[in-house]
């Protein structure tokens, strides 16, 4: 259960005055388990020689399989008239060794904004809209490593943008719209004084959620400098809960590159011919088109457990190999805050290279607070 406290009770740790209308919530989760992975690198993968080629495998402790471990602070202040000031500071960490996960203090999210009858404005580091609106369509909720829908739909692969202004409308009859613009989406790559000399990004989307039905749309585009192709992606998806089973379907296309890499195995993929990057990561490639597909099912088993599975495909042109991913998972709730999970996933053609294959089998425990 999330623990809410008055900011006044935390004044020893946080500077500033508090009022009865100001609230801060400390929250987080820890995910830890065991994993087995087997990796085969194809002949065209540029990393084959460096990693010894052929097949390799590993078995050991792995954190963050179902969800990335994190802790955060979420706060609100009532400004009156139905308007509230909000902030979120969220830090990721690797539970197996206690290190920072994103090499930043608040690498998962750091935003401040206003919310009210007019909608919600947020500014700072945050995810794009595809990574929010498709969580309910993907049976794996955009998690579980390669089983994640983002392996085939790069815009839904938990894409985070720095320096972003985001707006989302209030929900009208189950329908929400949103849009955002990043003035420099990755500060780690540096920045310039002139906005048009920085890597910028656009994100937009809509979601309808009412009863058993969810329908989601998204569009993303990255404007890369200097004079690179501009990766762009559009996704449409829907999920319907028939009670005995929930069906999820999605289709998308990506052009001129991908927004976020697959990073499924030890290989790096093939080089982009007229852009920048390798095909197992984020890259640009003029004229590239990737058609992506998802079919997913989730079925409850009693009141506290469920089984879920999906098939994904990312099918590119330019002579690259299609990626197919088959995944099956199981979750058992020990309580409202703690669950056990197990899953298996097989990817063929990852990084769009023929012969690249990776098998992942994992199990673990997740605790939320």
Residues 6 or more apart from 187 whose CB is under 8 A from it?
162, 163
Q: Which two tokens stand for residue 94?
A: 């690797």
Our measurement of the distance from residue 1's CA atom to the centroid of its chain's CA atoms, rounded to an integer in Å, reads: 24
Residues 6 or more apart from 167 whose CB is under 8 A from it?
119, 120, 121, 178, 179, 180
- Rounded CA-CA distance 282/285 in Å is 10
- Rounded CA-CA distance 62/35 in Å is 6
- Environment class of 198 (CB within 10 Å of its CB; exposed 0-12, middle 13-18, buried 19+): buried
Q: Give SS3 for 230.
A: coil
Cα torsion 311, 312, 318, 319 to 10°: value is -30
Say how many CA atoms lie within 13 Å of 160 toward its Cβ.
17
Residues 6 or more apart from 145 whose CB is under 8 A from it?
65, 264, 345, 360, 362
- In total, the chain counts a number of residues equal to 369
Kindly report each contact of residues 174-179 with a partner whose C-beta sits within 8 Å and lies 24 or more positions away, as own/partner. 174/208, 174/209, 174/210, 175/206, 175/207, 175/208, 176/206, 176/207, 176/208, 176/209, 177/205, 177/206, 178/129, 178/133, 178/203, 178/204, 178/205, 178/206, 179/129, 179/203, 179/204, 179/205
pLDDT tens for the chain, residues 1 to 369? 444 444 344 434 444 444 448 999 999 999 999 999 999 998 888 888 877 778 899 999 999 999 999 999 999 999 999 999 999 999 999 999 999 988 899 999 999 999 999 999 999 999 999 999 999 999 999 999 999 999 999 999 999 999 999 999 999 999 999 999 999 998 877 777 888 889 999 999 999 999 999 999 999 999 998 888 999 999 999 999 999 999 999 999 999 999 998 787 788 899 988 888 999 989 999 999 999 999 999 999 999 999 999 999 999 999 999 999 999 999 999 999 999 999 999 999 999 999 999 999 999 999 999
Alpha helices in 203-278 (DSSP H): none
Tokens 């790559």: give the residue. 189
Q: Note whether 75 and 22 are within 8 A (CB).
A: yes
Q: What is the sign, positive or negative, of the torsion defined by CA atoms of 252, 258, 264, 269?
A: positive
Q: Which two tokens stand for residue 281?
A: 């990561």
pTM over cut 0.85: yes
């Amino acid at each position: 259960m999330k623990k809410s406290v008055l900011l006044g009770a935390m004044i020893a740790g946080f500077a500033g005055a508090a009022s009865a209308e100001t609230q801060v919530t400390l929250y987080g989760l820890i995910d830890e388990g065991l994993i087995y992975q087997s990796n085969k690198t194809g002949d065209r993968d540029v990393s084959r020689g460096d990693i010894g080629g052929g097949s390799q495998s590993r078995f050991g402790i792995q954190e963050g399989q179902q969800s990335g471990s994190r802790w955060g602070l979420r706060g609100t202040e009532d400004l009156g008239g139905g308007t509230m000031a909000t902030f979120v500071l969220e830090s990721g960490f690797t539970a197996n060794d206690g290190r920072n996960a994103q090499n930043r203090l608040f690498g998962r999210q750091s935003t401040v904004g206003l919310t009210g009858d007019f909608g919600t404005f947020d500014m700072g580091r945050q995810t794009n809209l595809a990574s929010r609106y498709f969580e309910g369509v993907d049976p794996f909720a955009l998690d579980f490593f390669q089983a994640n829908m983002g392996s085939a739909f790069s815009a839904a692969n938990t894409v985070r943008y720095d320096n972003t202004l985001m707006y989302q409308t209030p929900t009208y009859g189950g329908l929400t719209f949103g849009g955002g613009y990043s003035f420099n989406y990755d500060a780690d790559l540096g920045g310039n004084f002139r906005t048009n000399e920085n890597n910028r990004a656009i994100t937009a989307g809509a979601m309808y959620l009412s009863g058993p039905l969810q329908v989601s749309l998204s569009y993303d585009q990255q404007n890369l400098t200097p004079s690179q192709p501009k990766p762009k992606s559009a996704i449409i998806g829907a999920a319907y809960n028939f009670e005995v089973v929930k069906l999820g379907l999605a289709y998308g296309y990506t052009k001129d590159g991908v927004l976020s890499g697959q990073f499924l195995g030890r290989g790096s993929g093939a080089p982009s011919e007229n852009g920048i990057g390798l095909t197992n990561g984020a890259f640009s490639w003029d004229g590239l088109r990737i058609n992506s597909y998802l079919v997913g099912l989730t079925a409850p088993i009693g009141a506290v457990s469920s089984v879920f599975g999906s098939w994904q495909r990312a099918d590119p042109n330019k002579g690259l190999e299609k990626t197919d991913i088959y995944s099956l998972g199981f979750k058992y709730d020990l309580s409202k805050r703690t669950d056990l999970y197990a899953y298996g996933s097989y990817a063929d053609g990852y990084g769009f290279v023929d012969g690249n294959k990776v098998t992942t089998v994992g199990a673990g425990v997740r605790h939320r607070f």
